[in-house]
Amino acid sequence: MNNLFPFLALNKIALQLGPLAIHWYAIFIVGGAALAVWLACKEAPKRNIKTDDIIDFVLFAFPLGIVGARLYYVIFQWSYYSQHPSQIIAMWDGGGAIYGSLIAGAIVLFVFSYYRMIHPLDLLDITIPGVFLAQAMGRWGNFVNQEAYGKIVSNLDWLPAFIRNQMFIDGHYRMPTFLFESIGTLSGFILVMVFRHRIKGLKRGDIFSFYLVWYGAVRFIVEGMRTDSLMLGPARVSQWLSVLLVIVGLVLFIYRRMKKNVSYIRK
């Protein structure tokens, strides 16, 4: 790492306990997950879902989501990891993809819902606010690791010093795209909470549909600014997936609105 003021740079390690190093990246990920679980447990009884079901789901989804995030990243960086196989498990140094985590989490959710006889859209609507919040927090782990940044810029005088210093990478200031996505997902969380408590007549799946459209749009815009995107040939993989999310979200919303006898969240 090249930094103009190296003494002001943030250390990736938050706490060293003998041989055990606790990384900021892990703190943000686990902290976000804990808040997501708390929010889901508060909402679950309103959908006649036991809090124990939420806890059990998280015990499956969280570790598999981490594996999915890493696996997704490794697959699209295989030219490097095929030559450095010992680095495949070194996620503490960064290198995880949110889309991989979402895909793994979705698979777990649908399997879990089937066996627990829970409507998957209920479980999705319950967990989405926490997912938004966890994603907003997780991007700050990327910030500490100096990942998910954008193009070179002349200065970042409009940002606090601690962000400017961390965004001075390889001799240049970089656009803080991590911050844009964090703000975007935090805004999504706020909007979802407003919808949930202020809008009557929300149908089952509306919250999930909003998430797909909102996050897909945010990620598409932010991904276009990044210089470290995962690529498949000339294409940015995450932008294609973002377009897919928006389409699926809109189709689901319209379909649920047109379908008769679809239950509402609130009446």
Domain boundaries, the chain: 6-258
Q: Which pLDDT value is given to residue 265?
A: 57
Q: Which pLDDT value is given to residue 267?
A: 41
Pairing between strand 235-236 and 231-232? antiparallel
In the chain the beta strands, taken as DSSP E runs, fall at 13-17, 20-23, 152-153, 168-169, 172-174, 231-232, 235-236
Q: Which pLDDT value is given to residue 61?
A: 94
Q: Which residues partner with 20 through β-bridges?
A: 17
Q: Any binding-site annotation on 139?
A: yes
Q: Which pLDDT value is given to residue 116?
A: 95
Task: Find the radius of gyration of the CA atoms of the chain.
Answer: 19
Pairing between strand 152-153 and 235-236? unpaired
Q: Which pLDDT value is given to residue 7?
A: 43
Q: Which pLDDT value is given to residue 198?
A: 86
The tens place of each residue's pLDDT in the chain, 267 residues long, gives 444 444 456 888 888 888 888 889 889 999 999 999 999 999 999 889 999 999 999 999 999 999 998 998 888 888 888 888 888 887 766 677 888 999 999 999 999 999 999 999 999 999 999 999 999 999 999 999 898 899 999 999 999 999 999 999 989 999 999 999 999 999 999 999 999 888 888 888 999 999 999 999 999 999 999 987 777 777 788 899 999 999 999 999 998 888 765 665 544
Q: Which pLDDT value is given to residue 20?
A: 87
Q: Which pLDDT value is given to residue 1?
A: 40
And the tokens for 138? 């997780």
Amino acid found at 204: R
Q: Which pLDDT value is given to residue 98?
A: 85
Q: Which pLDDT value is given to residue 195?
A: 92
Cα 216 to Cα 104, 105, 160, distances in angstroms: 17, 17, 28
